[in-house]
Structure 1
């Protein structure tokens, strides 16, 4: 595969990694010793870009709003469970596609799942940090329910959910692949993320936002080999097959998402990844020190021994912990997700709801 072939992929495309030039640079370096692997990965990328898409999936209706954030109701009869997604990528990974939706499944299991949709910030929101997202966006949505709900947070949403559970009465809190002790990412991963942020910081500050491209490229640095190999594998996947449709749905989610406010991005990169503020016990929200040991409600964390995006060692270390063996996203939407995560999470939530 020549440099000319690589350059041809720089043309604009509706679907594909964001930003594509940085992905191609990563591809070039990761496959320097294997032209065959590069050829296969590019073929997989092309097949993904050109694949036919189903109609856009509709999310559940909103029952409450706070600023740009909404609370979406997935129905069901039972205790309310507010799901807090990450600020990175859209919330619909929890409602990915027909037959692969944690939220719609839980609505049939004696629970009432609700989803926080953070919305899309504009430049005017540049000073809205993580504390703003908790206090001014999430907590008013919780208040709208008129009763203490259960909380479940995924990825960075789990980090925020733990903080919210220390600031507001809830019946219990569960986290899924949520980072807390950021120093446990290790020196190399943190250095790579810091280098990516340092290169992008000035432009983000001028914009007032941290675009999804910056976030995505930063996380590629954690596991670049997998970033390439998944497209290499897709090249040999039968077009139109169930496996192909699942890959496309997941990649479309991974390659989309609203920007972060500059303040939230800066706090995530500088205070969390570089400074390990939560893990060091130096995170304060609303005048309150956020320490997992101070939780007064039932709490559990679901982690994975094979998660490379949020290593198991970076979890908060709650007393109750469930260890899975799936990838960061696979634990939520993979082929074993229902048995490994959905069912144990359902059982824990129902039990926690009935603790007085």
Structure 2
């Protein structure tokens, strides 16, 4: 990809390679210790960030680590914990080959919903990317106080012609995934690079010109480390994602069931809203759930969470919406 993008400009190739080398050699601080567990179900843990007031559970994607919601000085979950909410973040854990048959439905029925049902009150769910898809499905199957979806796909037919490229990628990778029992993150990352190869090359050209001790350089390394990391997907989850979601739009056509009942936006029994970006290349606006409370933006997929305008355009409206929900109720002991 780098060679093809810079074929006519050898100086750009050299600049991008220098930027890549600088990124690889950049110092990294020690990672912070994990937050304490509020609940555990299988390999999944609900990490508790403290705070007071209504309980809010953030559900990250299965793709890339949950750290995007707790990224250094742009930590959405830590900011929310200072706004009058008790905040927790789902950590999906590390799948192994023993998880090869754990599909998307099992992630919700055996991991996410049991985490939710251990809590002292039905929480507000805030799902990012594929985590929003899963949060909507969970909210149809267990009581929650509200649902907010951030850059989350539901109508997978909205990928349009881009779906063919993703399905081709899966077809090429699936024999290896079958042998491993998982889909390595590197397969998905290569697909993300190809969504906008010119931007992928340009960002490393730019990084190579930054002062390595600058805040901009440190922010770049922190974000790229997140983007280039991630646990593998269990084989059955990857198969669901590409063959049942992207290829046939199982959620958008009403064919997905959790705990034996169909899940869909019109089956939600709680207040719900979504943030949708017109400039999101990873989750196009056409894939949104179509909730009646829809906030349209012009921020990128990652920029919606950690960009310079994220606080004013997403964080603060989200906190205001949660604060306006009806009072919650404690669970009764059985």
Q: TM-score range by the shorter chain?
A: over 0.9
Task: Give the C-alpha shift of residue 353 in structure 1.
Answer: 4.7
Measured in 1, the distance between the counterparts of 2:210 and 2:279 equals 24
Report what 1:165 is aligned to. 139
User: How big is each residue's C-alpha offset from its partner over 1:53-75, in whole Å with a ceiling of 9 and x where there is no partner?
Assistant: 11212331112110000000000
User: How big is each residue's C-alpha offset from its partner over 1:136-183, in whole Å with a ceiling of 9 and x where there is no partner?
Assistant: 001111111121110000000000000000000001000000011112
Task: Give the C-alpha shift of residue 111 in structure 1.
Answer: 0.6
Q: 2:159 aligns with which of 185, 190, 200?
A: 185
Measured in 2, the distance between the counterparts of 1:50 and 1:353 equals 50
Task: Give the C-alpha shift of residue 106 in structure 1.
Answer: 0.6
Give the root-mean-square deviation of aligned CA atoms: 1.3
Report what 2:35 is aligned to. 60
> Could you tell me whether the CA contact under 8 Å between 2:138 and 2:258 is conserved in 1?
no
Measured in 1, the distance between the counterparts of 2:240 and 2:299 equals 29
> Could you tell me whether the CA contact under 8 Å between 1:129 and 1:267 is conserved in 2?
yes
Instruction: State whether structure 2 residue 172 is matched by structure 1 residue 202.
Output: no
> Could you tell me whether the CA contact under 8 Å between 1:192 and 1:221 is conserved in 2?
no
Report what 1:139 is aligned to. 113
Q: 2:12 aligns with which of 2, 16, 37?
A: 37
Q: 1:111 aligns with which of 85, 99, 124?
A: 85
> Could you tell me whether the CA contact under 8 Å between 1:172 and 1:353 is conserved in 2?
no
Instruction: State whether structure 2 residue 330 is matched by structure 1 residue 352.
Output: no
Measured in 1, the distance between the counterparts of 2:210 and 2:198 equals 19
User: How big is each residue's C-alpha offset from its partner over 1:211-259, in whole Å with a ceiling of 9 and x where there is no partner?
Assistant: 1111111222322222222112212222111111111000011111111
Task: Give the C-alpha shift of residue 277 in structure 1.
Answer: 1.2
User: How big is each residue's C-alpha offset from its partner over 1:327-348, in whole Å with a ceiling of 9 and x where there is no partner?
Assistant: 1001101111111111011111
Report what 1:240 is aligned to. 213
User: How big is each residue's C-alpha offset from its partner over 1:277-305, in whole Å with a ceiling of 9 and x where there is no partner?
Assistant: 11222222222111111212100001111
Task: With the length of structure 1 as denominator, give the TM-score of the two structures.
Answer: 0.90
> Could you tell me whether the CA contact under 8 Å between 1:193 and 1:221 is conserved in 2?
no
Measured in 1, the distance between the counterparts of 2:282 and 2:33 equals 28
> Could you tell me whether the CA contact under 8 Å between 1:150 and 1:353 is conserved in 2?
no
> Could you tell me whether the CA contact under 8 Å between 1:31 and 1:38 is conserved in 2?
yes
Q: How many residues align?
A: 329
Task: Give the C-alpha shift of residue 43 in structure 1.
Answer: 1.4
Q: What secondary structure does 1:104 align onto?
A: helix
Measured in 1, the distance between the counterparts of 2:239 and 2:326 equals 36
> Could you tell me whether the CA contact under 8 Å between 1:197 and 1:218 is conserved in 2?
no
Report what 2:332 is aligned to. none
Report what 1:287 is aligned to. 260
Measured in 2, the distance between the counterparts of 1:321 and 1:352 equals 16
My pick for the range that moved more, 226-235 or 149-158, is 226-235
Measured in 1, the distance between the counterparts of 2:175 and 2:326 equals 46
> Could you tell me whether the CA contact under 8 Å between 1:193 and 1:219 is conserved in 2?
no
Task: With the length of structure 2 as denominator, give the TM-score of the two structures.
Answer: 0.95
> Could you tell me whether the CA contact under 8 Å between 2:278 and 2:299 is conserved in 1?
yes
Measured in 1, the distance between the counterparts of 2:193 and 2:164 equals 13
Task: Give the C-alpha shift of residue 35 in structure 1.
Answer: 2.1
